Structure 1
Amino acid sequence: MLLIFMMFSFLLMFIFLNHPLSMGMTILIQTLLMSIMTGNWHFNFWYSYILFLIMIGGLLILFTYMTSVASNEKFKFNIFFLTPFFSLILSPFFEFLFKNYDSLNFNSTNNFNLNLSKFLNIPMNMIIMFLIIYLLITLIAVVKITDFNQGPMRQKN
């Protein structure tokens, strides 16, 4: 419930943002919260980790593009806008502090260990080995394609 409330508050905050860097930061936080939420639902963080890495890669490309296009644009904070959203973000934490701790269930850690061992058993370990070899070949191909002598495409003055 806490993560859903935080995601909703960041969604509302994203609607009112007008600077691309602040929008990118909000998308980054939304992705992190979504990754945590899907990892907790499935007791397996592999999908969440892949989702987070793909979104970070896309956001890095957007960040470099936006900083090259609008590099000298001022970033202004609107204090009137930030005050209600900080209260929206902090209110679930107070709910969590006053929650009854006896109702928390810590038996889910056993399920996580069982789900993790499925990836390492005989039928699935061949897929993991194939993935490792594929990533190694891709890494070698990218290193061979790039030419270190030419350097960066952007010229420095």
Structure 2
Amino acid sequence: MLMLTFPLLLSSSILFMNLSHPLSMGLILLVQTMLISLTLGLSSYSFWFSYILFLVFLGGMLVLFIYVSSLAPNEIFFSLDLFIMFFIFMSIFTIIALVMDPILSNFSHISLPLSSLDYFNSTPYTINWIYNSPSMIFTIFIVSYLLLALIIIVKIINLFKGPLRLLT
């Protein structure tokens, strides 16, 4: 599964460089965030850190989406050439990843023993180091900084003024 997410990340990065509309760029960023969260969740002991990362990034993307949609003109941002190029890159990188995958290239080992699945349960990639003694102070500092920034932003925003443009 990890070998399939890397070609998707690479092809979406190439597609991102060729886009010009901010809403389509936001969509590609959202896809990349889902792929990075999936990769992080599969390579660590639990999915909690990737869930939190995805939810925080999704909240930020929602704020950016509201801001950009109020500024961007209402134009069609779908281009057939970019869509075809995206699927060509995605299919090429997926085929390369499938060919280079050692499990799929050697068909005699398709049925994995159950002992090889215990590898993921014994990996040392846990997120306990965030909450342990040396880095606990840094984590508390980051949480309090984000809370303070949230309170300051709420106080700065004037609730009596409307959005940047009228939604008609």
TM norm structure 2: 0.60
After superposing the two structures, state which structure 1 stretch, 84-93 or 73-82, moved more: 84-93
User: 2: CA distance between counterparts of 1:7 and 1:50?
Assistant: 20
The one-letter code matched in structure 2 to 1:20 is P
CA deviation digits over 1:45-67, x for unaligned, max 9?
11111111111011001000011
Unaligned 5+ runs, structure 1: 128-137, 146-150
Q: Give the CA RMSD over aligned residues.
A: 3.8
CA contact (8 A) 2:45 2:121 kept: no
CA contact (8 A) 2:24 2:77 kept: no
Task: Tell me whether 1:95 sits opposite 2:89 in the alignment.
Answer: no
Counterpart position of 2:40: 38
TM norm structure 1: 0.63
Cα displacement (A) at 1:7 = 0.6
User: 2: CA distance between counterparts of 1:38 and 1:62?
Assistant: 24
**How much identity, in percent, do the aligned residues show?**
30
User: 2: CA distance between counterparts of 1:43 and 1:67?
Assistant: 38
1:139-154 pair list within 5 angstroms? 154=162
Which structure has more relative contact order (CA 8 Å, sep 6+)? It is: 2
Cα displacement (A) at 1:43 = 2.0
Unaligned 5+ runs, structure 2: 137-146
Counterpart position of 2:118: 107
Report the count of equivalent residues.
133
